[in-house]
Structure 1
Amino acid sequence: MPVRSTLLFILFSCYLLVSNVANAIVPVDQSNVAEEGFSGNVGISLNGQSGNKEEREYSLSSIIRYGHLANSFIFITDYNYSETNDLKDEDDFYSHLRWIRNDFFRPNVDSELFIQYEYDDIADLSSRKLAGGGVRWRYNRQSESSEINTLLGLGAFYEVEESLSNNAEVSTTRANFYAKFLYGRRTQFPFDAYLTLYYQPAVDDIKNFRAIVISGIEFKITQTLSLNVEAEVDHDSSPFTNVEETDIEYGVRMTYSF
């Protein structure tokens, strides 16, 4: 069996072995600038088990991009649901819309505005709504065998969170600092390794902060089909009552790009 075919077989076997892990990791757009017109990717996962344990899991994610001249629009969605023995143990949804004006301040320094909505029943989050903006600096270097992408951003947003258990509502203005790094290998066995960091302290109390780390590797199976192995650490210093401050998630995602 050719080396490439063997590698693809191993990757697909790994996907089948671990795809029953619930994957609630929000997809991260690793492109610095949207291509002209529409592009994006869609990921889906359906898992189940019957017998001593009845289990069902569903996961659907998408990244839709639209580029026109100096404008980039990015819409990200992610939905996850699972239940075990007829008891729901995961139900969360995330959506994020971002507008980027490339080179707004100077070459490679862009402006951006965004809105976001999400809920997470298990984390006692009935809804989180936020809107904000900022500035970002981007860097790209390419060669025949590799590619490096870097994004550094800062800004602020206003959010409103509502508790599912007691309907309590909390409004917060947060600063937003983030960094995205990607290393892509463009040889016989192409892959992208990426790391994304977010730090979001409340402007009136820096002890109240949210921090997110997302890392992963994307293996190209074909020109349009990829396998992503990902991990995410999400820390909220002031969650709602009876909710853990830190969540750690990992999983495998199969995506189709267009």
Structure 2
Amino acid sequence: MLQKLFATSILFTSFSYSFIHIDPPVIGEKEGLSGEVSVSGKHSSGNNDSTAMGLAGKGEYFGNDWLVYLIASYTYGESNDRKDTNDGSAHLRYVHSIGDSSYDYELFLQTEFNEFQHIKQRNLIGANIRKRLDIFFDKFYAGLGLFYSYMEPEEVTVYDPVYKRTRINSYLSFSKKVHQNFSVSYLGYYQPNVEDLSDYRISQIVQFNTSITEDLMLGFDVNHAYNATPYYAVEKNDIRTTINLRYKF
């Protein structure tokens, strides 16, 4: 039920990090409500006919000493007229500054599904402390925290059980404006199981962004995910590259 609810909200509201500009949000850099929508697609023909489409979106609201944002995405693809990609996610995060320091605390919720990783639903709830670092990059944040995850397969078996885990959540997020119209952004997570450090997940995205107009951006994203303990017959590594058109409002 939860999967269907979020899948519906993804399709009918603004559309995970796979497509949305991952420039780290900074408390106070904007005022009020802002957002972004993105679309990506690819098609190849010949020896292998394949198509894929992705939709994503983000809504943000900035207060004086806090911000909140919602990110959602959906991806669908086919190869030789057979579905081979069907996944989506929604992520809600609240960030609040801690006094006049360079630290913020974060609270977040996430839900996702991935048909071809046998994930019917994966739900997260957690909290982080993040610190802004003033080094070479224009924006640089390091975060550390914990989250609880519940992951349920499409069909529960001996090989594909329900996983309930508490994980450490550590990440780096930075961006650098190389030229007036060109920037590079990175977001990387390392998430080990607190009870078994050999059970870990890595997720990282590199984005190359080119401004077309003040509100329109062309992006090339490289997304790498690694799960040390995937469900049966699912690859541990997953790499996805996309070209996206993003519109900010």
Candidates 163, 181, 191, aligned match of 1:170: 163
Residues 1:198 and 1:91: Cα distance change in structure 2 (over 3 Å): same
Percentage identity across paired residues of the two chains: 29
2:57 to 53, 58, 62: 62
Q: Distance in 2 between matches of 1:84 and 1:164?
A: 22
Secondary structure at the residue paired with 2:234?
A: coil
Q: Alignment RMSD, CA only?
A: 2.3
What are the residue-to-residue correspondences of 1:67-82 with 2, within 5 Å? 67-82=62-77
Matches within 5 A, 1:73-222: 73-102=68-97, 104=98, 106-139=100-133, 148-166=138-156, 168-187=161-180, 190-222=181-213
Partner of 1:241: 232
Query: Is the 1:37–1:67 contact (alpha carbons within 8 Å) kept by the matching residues of 2?
Result: yes
Deviations 1:40-86 (A, max 9, x none): 21101355578987654321011211011111001111100112344
User: Which residue does 2:26 correspond to in 1?
Assistant: 33
The corresponding residue for 2:7 is none
Tell me if the contact between 1:147 and 1:186 (Cα under 8 Å) persists in the aligned partners.
Answer: no
8 Å CA contact 1:226, 1:256 repeated in 2: yes
Q: Which protein is bigger by CA-based radius of gyration?
A: 1
Structure 2 unaligned spans of 5+: 1-16
Q: When the two structures are aligned, how many residues end up with a matched partner?
A: 228
SS at match of 1:122: helix
Change in Cα spacing, 1:192 to 1:52, as seen in structure 2 (3 Å) is closer
Partners of 1:28 and 1:52 in 2: how far apart?
33
* Contiguous gaps of at least 5 residues in structure 1: 1-23
Distance 1:118 1:211 in 2: 16
TM-score scaled by length of structure 2 = 0.84
Change (3 A) 1:52 1:32: closer
- Of 237-246 and 77-86, more deviation after overlay is shown by 77-86
- Residue identity in the other structure for 1:211: I
Query: Shift of residue 39 of structure 1?
Result: 1.2
- Give 1:121 deviation, angstroms: 0.2
SS at match of 2:121: strand
Q: Is the Cα–Cα contact under 8 Å of residues 150 and 179 in structure 1 kept in the other structure?
A: yes
Going from structure 1 to structure 2, the CA distance change for 1:47 and 1:32 (only over 3 Å counts) comes to closer
Q: Which AA in structure 1 matches 2:248? A: S
Q: Distance in 2 between matches of 1:245 and 1:148?
A: 33
